[in-house]
Structure 1
Protein backbone atom coordinates (compact mmCIF):
# COMPACT_ATOMS: atom_id res chain seq x y z
CA UNK A 1 0.00 0.00 0.00
CA UNK A 2 1.45 3.36 -0.99
CA UNK A 3 1.63 6.39 1.23
CA UNK A 4 -0.02 9.63 -0.04
CA UNK A 5 3.19 11.49 0.86
CA UNK A 6 5.47 9.07 -0.99
CA UNK A 7 7.76 10.85 -3.44
CA UNK A 8 8.01 9.49 -6.99
CA UNK A 9 10.36 10.30 -9.88
CA UNK A 10 8.55 11.00 -13.16
CA UNK A 11 9.73 11.70 -16.68
CA UNK A 12 7.30 14.02 -18.43
CA UNK A 13 7.51 14.84 -22.13
CA UNK A 14 5.82 17.99 -23.43
CA UNK A 15 5.29 18.88 -27.09
CA UNK A 16 5.21 22.67 -27.50
CA UNK A 17 5.37 25.39 -30.13
CA UNK A 18 8.99 26.33 -30.76
CA UNK A 19 8.67 30.01 -29.97
CA UNK A 20 10.20 32.65 -27.77
CA UNK A 21 9.34 32.39 -24.06
CA UNK A 22 7.79 28.89 -24.01
CA UNK A 23 10.64 27.33 -22.03
CA UNK A 24 10.59 30.24 -19.58
CA UNK A 25 6.86 29.72 -19.03
CA UNK A 26 7.31 25.99 -18.40
CA UNK A 27 10.20 26.55 -16.00
CA UNK A 28 8.28 29.39 -14.34
CA UNK A 29 5.38 27.04 -13.70
CA UNK A 30 7.74 24.76 -11.75
CA UNK A 31 9.60 27.47 -9.84
CA UNK A 32 6.44 29.45 -9.04
CA UNK A 33 4.95 26.45 -7.26
CA UNK A 34 8.14 25.19 -5.64
CA UNK A 35 8.43 22.05 -7.80
CA UNK A 36 11.95 20.78 -8.47
CA UNK A 37 13.31 19.96 -11.91
CA UNK A 38 15.99 17.26 -11.73
CA UNK A 39 16.65 17.18 -15.46
CA UNK A 40 15.54 19.31 -18.39
CA UNK A 41 16.21 18.84 -22.10
CA UNK A 42 14.74 20.80 -24.98
CA UNK A 43 15.13 20.56 -28.74
CA UNK A 44 13.20 21.26 -31.91
CA UNK A 45 11.77 17.96 -33.15
CA UNK A 46 9.58 19.01 -36.08
CA UNK A 47 10.78 21.69 -38.50
CA UNK A 48 7.61 21.71 -40.61
CA UNK A 49 5.25 22.15 -37.63
CA UNK A 50 7.80 24.24 -35.67
CA UNK A 51 7.50 22.03 -32.57
CA UNK A 52 9.93 21.39 -29.73
CA UNK A 53 9.96 18.58 -27.21
CA UNK A 54 10.71 19.34 -23.58
CA UNK A 55 11.65 16.37 -21.40
CA UNK A 56 11.41 17.07 -17.68
CA UNK A 57 12.43 14.76 -14.86
CA UNK A 58 10.80 15.82 -11.61
CA UNK A 59 9.84 14.36 -8.26
CA UNK A 60 6.75 14.70 -6.14
CA UNK A 61 3.81 12.95 -4.58
CA UNK A 62 1.23 11.43 -6.91
CA UNK A 63 -0.96 14.49 -6.31
CA UNK A 64 1.88 16.92 -7.14
CA UNK A 65 2.70 15.04 -10.36
CA UNK A 66 -0.96 15.23 -11.41
CA UNK A 67 -0.99 18.97 -10.61
CA UNK A 68 2.14 19.50 -12.71
CA UNK A 69 0.60 17.70 -15.70
CA UNK A 70 -2.69 19.59 -15.36
CA UNK A 71 -0.94 22.97 -15.12
CA UNK A 72 1.32 22.16 -18.08
CA UNK A 73 -1.80 21.30 -20.07
CA UNK A 74 -3.21 24.76 -19.45
CA UNK A 75 -0.23 26.54 -21.03
CA UNK A 76 -1.31 27.82 -24.46
CA UNK A 77 1.65 26.62 -26.57
CA UNK A 78 1.45 23.03 -25.19
CA UNK A 79 0.15 20.49 -27.73
CA UNK A 80 0.59 17.22 -25.84
CA UNK A 81 1.84 15.90 -22.50
CA UNK A 82 3.02 12.35 -21.85
CA UNK A 83 4.01 10.95 -18.47
CA UNK A 84 6.53 8.41 -19.69
CA UNK A 85 6.73 6.91 -16.21
CA UNK A 86 3.09 5.82 -16.13
CA UNK A 87 1.84 5.86 -19.76
CA UNK A 88 3.52 2.56 -20.64
CA UNK A 89 7.02 1.35 -21.35
CA UNK A 90 9.59 3.93 -22.41
CA UNK A 91 13.29 4.25 -23.10
CA UNK A 92 15.42 6.81 -21.22
CA UNK A 93 18.98 7.83 -21.99
CA UNK A 94 21.43 10.44 -20.82
CA UNK A 95 24.87 11.41 -22.05
CA UNK A 96 27.77 12.83 -20.08
CA UNK A 97 31.25 14.08 -20.87
CA UNK A 98 33.59 13.27 -17.99
CA UNK A 99 37.08 14.79 -17.87
CA UNK A 100 39.59 12.73 -15.91
CA UNK A 101 43.04 14.11 -15.13
CA UNK A 102 45.49 11.42 -14.08
CA UNK A 103 48.78 9.65 -14.76
CA UNK A 104 50.20 6.19 -14.27
CA UNK A 105 48.09 3.45 -12.72
CA UNK A 106 45.05 5.71 -12.21
CA UNK A 107 45.11 6.49 -15.93
CA UNK A 108 45.14 2.78 -16.78
CA UNK A 109 42.32 2.13 -14.31
CA UNK A 110 40.23 4.96 -15.80
CA UNK A 111 40.59 3.39 -19.25
CA UNK A 112 39.64 -0.03 -17.87
CA UNK A 113 36.51 1.36 -16.17
CA UNK A 114 35.57 3.25 -19.32
CA UNK A 115 35.77 0.01 -21.28
CA UNK A 116 33.51 -1.79 -18.77
CA UNK A 117 30.92 1.02 -19.05
CA UNK A 118 31.33 1.23 -22.83
CA UNK A 119 32.39 4.85 -22.49
CA UNK A 120 34.42 6.27 -25.36
CA UNK A 121 37.50 8.43 -25.01
CA UNK A 122 36.59 11.38 -27.25
CA UNK A 123 39.68 13.41 -26.33
CA UNK A 124 43.03 12.48 -24.83
CA UNK A 125 46.22 14.21 -23.81
CA UNK A 126 49.24 12.98 -21.84
CA UNK A 127 47.49 13.98 -18.63
CA UNK A 128 43.77 13.71 -19.33
CA UNK A 129 40.86 11.99 -20.99
CA UNK A 130 37.40 13.18 -21.86
CA UNK A 131 35.04 10.21 -21.80
CA UNK A 132 31.61 10.12 -23.38
CA UNK A 133 29.22 7.81 -21.54
CA UNK A 134 25.64 7.15 -22.58
CA UNK A 135 22.93 5.12 -20.87
CA UNK A 136 20.25 5.16 -18.25
CA UNK A 137 20.80 7.89 -15.65
CA UNK A 138 21.90 5.38 -12.98
CA UNK A 139 24.64 4.04 -15.28
CA UNK A 140 25.90 7.56 -16.00
CA UNK A 141 25.86 8.39 -12.28
CA UNK A 142 27.75 5.18 -11.42
CA UNK A 143 30.43 5.90 -14.04
CA UNK A 144 30.91 9.43 -12.72
CA UNK A 145 31.20 8.08 -9.17
CA UNK A 146 33.87 5.57 -10.19
CA UNK A 147 35.88 8.30 -11.94
CA UNK A 148 35.97 10.39 -8.74
CA UNK A 149 39.00 8.68 -7.14
CA UNK A 150 40.68 8.30 -10.54
CA UNK A 151 40.99 12.04 -11.13
CA UNK A 152 37.54 13.27 -12.16
CA UNK A 153 37.99 16.95 -12.89
CA UNK A 154 34.84 18.04 -14.69
CA UNK A 155 31.42 16.70 -15.70
CA UNK A 156 28.86 17.90 -18.27
CA UNK A 157 25.54 16.03 -18.46
CA UNK A 158 22.83 16.36 -21.09
CA UNK A 159 19.84 15.50 -18.97
CA UNK A 160 17.38 12.74 -19.74
CA UNK A 161 15.79 12.19 -23.14
CA UNK A 162 12.98 9.64 -23.34
CA UNK A 163 10.49 8.17 -25.78
CA UNK A 164 7.67 5.61 -25.64
CA UNK A 165 8.57 2.07 -26.66
CA UNK A 166 6.72 0.32 -29.46
CA UNK A 167 4.22 1.96 -31.74
CA UNK A 168 2.99 4.64 -29.30
CA UNK A 169 3.93 8.12 -30.50
CA UNK A 170 3.54 11.53 -29.01
Structure 2
Protein backbone atom coordinates (compact mmCIF):
# COMPACT_ATOMS: atom_id res chain seq x y z
CA UNK A 1 0.00 0.00 0.00
CA UNK A 2 1.80 3.07 -1.27
CA UNK A 3 -0.67 5.83 -0.43
CA UNK A 4 -2.82 6.07 2.71
CA UNK A 5 -6.54 5.69 2.09
CA UNK A 6 -8.95 7.73 4.19
CA UNK A 7 -12.65 7.44 3.42
CA UNK A 8 -13.60 10.28 5.76
CA UNK A 9 -16.67 8.84 7.47
CA UNK A 10 -18.41 11.06 9.99
CA UNK A 11 -17.99 10.59 13.71
CA UNK A 12 -20.96 10.08 16.01
CA UNK A 13 -20.11 10.74 19.66
CA UNK A 14 -22.24 8.31 21.61
CA UNK A 15 -21.60 10.05 24.93
CA UNK A 16 -22.94 13.39 23.70
CA UNK A 17 -26.27 11.60 23.16
CA UNK A 18 -26.17 9.98 26.60
CA UNK A 19 -25.71 6.54 25.06
CA UNK A 20 -22.93 5.15 27.24
CA UNK A 21 -23.40 1.75 25.58
CA UNK A 22 -24.26 2.88 22.06
CA UNK A 23 -21.03 2.18 20.16
CA UNK A 24 -22.37 -0.47 17.78
CA UNK A 25 -25.30 1.73 16.71
CA UNK A 26 -23.00 4.75 16.29
CA UNK A 27 -20.47 2.79 14.20
CA UNK A 28 -23.24 1.30 12.06
CA UNK A 29 -24.86 4.69 11.46
CA UNK A 30 -21.48 6.23 10.56
CA UNK A 31 -20.99 3.53 7.93
CA UNK A 32 -24.54 3.81 6.58
CA UNK A 33 -24.29 7.59 6.31
CA UNK A 34 -20.92 7.29 4.56
CA UNK A 35 -22.54 5.05 1.94
CA UNK A 36 -25.46 7.45 1.51
CA UNK A 37 -28.01 5.36 3.43
CA UNK A 38 -30.26 6.38 6.34
CA UNK A 39 -29.29 10.02 5.82
CA UNK A 40 -32.53 11.30 7.32
CA UNK A 41 -32.06 9.25 10.49
CA UNK A 42 -30.40 10.86 13.52
CA UNK A 43 -28.42 8.84 16.02
CA UNK A 44 -31.16 9.35 18.61
CA UNK A 45 -33.82 7.99 16.23
CA UNK A 46 -31.51 5.13 15.26
CA UNK A 47 -31.01 4.09 18.89
CA UNK A 48 -34.77 3.95 19.43
CA UNK A 49 -35.07 1.57 16.46
CA UNK A 50 -32.34 -0.81 17.68
CA UNK A 51 -33.61 -4.36 18.29
CA UNK A 52 -33.53 -5.22 22.00
CA UNK A 53 -32.97 -8.86 23.02
CA UNK A 54 -35.64 -9.77 25.52
CA UNK A 55 -33.34 -12.49 26.86
CA UNK A 56 -30.41 -10.04 27.21
CA UNK A 57 -28.28 -12.03 24.77
CA UNK A 58 -26.24 -9.77 22.44
CA UNK A 59 -26.25 -12.57 19.86
CA UNK A 60 -30.04 -12.04 19.60
CA UNK A 61 -30.24 -8.22 19.77
CA UNK A 62 -29.07 -5.47 22.08
CA UNK A 63 -28.63 -6.95 25.55
CA UNK A 64 -29.80 -4.17 27.84
CA UNK A 65 -30.05 -0.42 27.37
CA UNK A 66 -27.74 1.83 25.35
CA UNK A 67 -28.40 4.56 27.95
CA UNK A 68 -27.53 2.82 31.23
CA UNK A 69 -25.78 -0.17 32.75
CA UNK A 70 -28.07 -2.84 34.12
CA UNK A 71 -26.88 -5.49 36.59
CA UNK A 72 -26.55 -8.90 34.95
CA UNK A 73 -26.86 -7.47 31.42
CA UNK A 74 -24.20 -7.29 28.75
CA UNK A 75 -24.99 -4.02 26.97
CA UNK A 76 -24.02 -4.79 23.38
CA UNK A 77 -25.35 -6.10 20.08
CA UNK A 78 -23.09 -8.50 18.22
CA UNK A 79 -22.49 -8.83 14.48
CA UNK A 80 -25.37 -11.02 13.29
CA UNK A 81 -28.26 -9.10 14.86
CA UNK A 82 -26.47 -5.85 13.96
CA UNK A 83 -26.37 -7.02 10.32
CA UNK A 84 -30.06 -7.94 10.33
CA UNK A 85 -30.91 -4.50 11.70
CA UNK A 86 -28.48 -2.60 9.45
CA UNK A 87 -29.67 -4.35 6.31
CA UNK A 88 -33.05 -2.64 6.83
CA UNK A 89 -31.27 0.63 5.99
CA UNK A 90 -28.43 -0.37 3.67
CA UNK A 91 -26.27 -3.27 2.58
CA UNK A 92 -23.98 -5.06 5.01
CA UNK A 93 -22.00 -8.29 4.92
CA UNK A 94 -20.59 -10.27 7.83
CA UNK A 95 -16.79 -10.36 7.86
CA UNK A 96 -16.52 -12.14 11.20
CA UNK A 97 -13.57 -14.49 11.20
CA UNK A 98 -11.82 -12.52 8.45
CA UNK A 99 -8.11 -11.91 8.36
CA UNK A 100 -7.27 -8.20 8.88
CA UNK A 101 -6.13 -7.99 5.24
CA UNK A 102 -9.75 -8.59 4.16
CA UNK A 103 -10.84 -5.58 6.21
CA UNK A 104 -8.13 -3.46 4.59
CA UNK A 105 -9.17 -4.68 1.12
CA UNK A 106 -12.71 -3.44 1.79
CA UNK A 107 -11.38 -0.02 2.82
CA UNK A 108 -9.39 0.10 -0.44
CA UNK A 109 -12.66 -0.64 -2.31
CA UNK A 110 -14.30 2.33 -0.57
CA UNK A 111 -16.29 0.37 1.99
CA UNK A 112 -16.02 1.17 5.73
CA UNK A 113 -15.86 -1.74 8.16
CA UNK A 114 -17.53 -2.03 11.55
CA UNK A 115 -15.08 -3.75 13.89
CA UNK A 116 -15.50 -5.12 17.39
CA UNK A 117 -12.56 -4.19 19.58
CA UNK A 118 -12.10 -2.95 23.16
CA UNK A 119 -12.44 0.49 24.74
CA UNK A 120 -9.23 2.45 24.03
CA UNK A 121 -7.84 -0.73 22.39
CA UNK A 122 -6.92 -2.04 25.84
CA UNK A 123 -6.23 -5.69 26.59
CA UNK A 124 -9.55 -7.60 26.61
CA UNK A 125 -10.96 -8.25 30.08
CA UNK A 126 -12.78 -11.55 29.63
CA UNK A 127 -15.78 -12.67 31.68
CA UNK A 128 -18.18 -15.57 31.36
CA UNK A 129 -21.89 -14.94 30.66
CA UNK A 130 -24.69 -17.45 29.98
CA UNK A 131 -24.21 -16.85 26.22
CA UNK A 132 -20.41 -17.21 26.28
CA UNK A 133 -17.08 -15.64 27.20
CA UNK A 134 -16.81 -11.99 26.17
CA UNK A 135 -14.66 -8.96 26.98
CA UNK A 136 -16.41 -6.64 29.45
CA UNK A 137 -14.49 -3.75 27.87
CA UNK A 138 -16.28 -4.47 24.60
CA UNK A 139 -16.30 -1.65 22.06
CA UNK A 140 -17.13 -1.11 18.42
CA UNK A 141 -15.57 1.35 15.95
CA UNK A 142 -15.78 2.10 12.25
CA UNK A 143 -12.60 1.41 10.31
CA UNK A 144 -12.44 3.99 7.51
CA UNK A 145 -8.78 4.29 6.57
CA UNK A 146 -5.60 2.32 6.12
CA UNK A 147 -1.95 2.99 5.39
CA UNK A 148 1.15 0.83 5.40
CA UNK A 149 1.52 0.97 9.20
CA UNK A 150 -1.74 2.43 10.51
CA UNK A 151 -5.52 2.22 10.36
CA UNK A 152 -7.94 5.10 10.75
CA UNK A 153 -10.94 4.67 13.02
CA UNK A 154 -14.04 6.67 13.74
CA UNK A 155 -14.43 5.86 17.41
CA UNK A 156 -17.78 6.74 19.06
CA UNK A 157 -15.98 7.49 22.34
CA UNK A 158 -12.55 8.86 21.40
CA UNK A 159 -13.24 10.54 18.04
CA UNK A 160 -11.26 10.01 14.85
CA UNK A 161 -7.61 9.02 14.82
CA UNK A 162 -4.88 6.96 13.20
CA UNK A 163 -3.79 3.87 15.16
CA UNK A 164 -0.85 1.53 14.75
CA UNK A 165 -1.94 -1.50 12.66
CA UNK A 166 -0.18 -3.94 14.99
CA UNK A 167 -2.17 -2.61 17.97
CA UNK A 168 -5.43 -2.70 15.99
CA UNK A 169 -4.81 -6.24 14.74
CA UNK A 170 -3.91 -7.57 18.20
CA UNK A 171 -7.27 -6.44 19.60
CA UNK A 172 -9.31 -7.28 16.48
CA UNK A 173 -7.83 -10.79 16.31
CA UNK A 174 -8.87 -11.51 19.92
CA UNK A 175 -12.48 -11.69 18.61
CA UNK A 176 -12.48 -11.45 14.77
CA UNK A 177 -15.91 -9.83 14.64
CA UNK A 178 -16.61 -7.34 11.82
CA UNK A 179 -19.07 -6.27 9.13
CA UNK A 180 -18.58 -4.28 5.93
CA UNK A 181 -21.02 -1.55 4.85
CA UNK A 182 -21.57 -1.46 1.07
CA UNK A 183 -23.03 1.29 -1.10
Provide TM-score, normalisation by structure 2: 0.26
Structure with the greater alpha carbon radius of gyration: 1
